């Protein structure tokens, strides 16, 4: 499972940094969908991360466990266009 702010652990970011201004919540749903979405966003060059909604719950391998996907604020519009915009080539 990925963390939202891995740079904080490496000492590259201050613990007082306002992370909510850096990333936006893009999706909330089952972890099986969240993992696939993160992989697809990365294939399009977008650095997405995911977390469990309830981080204190045991990781028992439940694929329906709620997870959140975050994208950098600067990439949010592009991510929305890729996954939520109406497709013009559909019938």
Consecutive 10-residue runs of the chain (91 residues): their mean pLDDT? 42 49 89 95 93 88 92 91 76 55
Q: What pLDDT is recorded for position 19?
A: 52
pTM (2 decimals)?
A: 0.70
Asked whether 22 and 47 are in contact (CB, 8 A), the reply is no
List the domain range (segments joined by +) for residue 53: 6-83
Per the structure, how many domains does the chain have?
A: 1
For the record, the structure tokens of 48 come out as: 């997405």
For the record, the structure tokens of 87 come out as: 């497709």
For the record, the structure tokens of 6 come out as: 């891995």
- Is there a domain that residue 90 lies in? no
- Is there a domain that residue 89 lies in? no
For the record, the structure tokens of 59 come out as: 């990781």
């Amino acid at each position: 499972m990925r963390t939202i702010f891995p740079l904080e652990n490496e000492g590259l970011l201050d613990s007082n940094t306002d992370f909510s201004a850096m990333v936006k919540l893009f999706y909330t749903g089952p972890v099986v969908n969240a993992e696939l979405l993160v992989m697809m966003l990365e294939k399009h060059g977008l650095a997405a991360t995911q977390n469990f909604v309830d981080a204190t719950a045991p990781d028992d391998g439940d694929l329906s466990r709620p997870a959140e996907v975050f994208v950098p604020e600067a990439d949010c519009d592009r991510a929305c266009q890729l996954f939520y915009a109406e497709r013009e080539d559909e019938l």
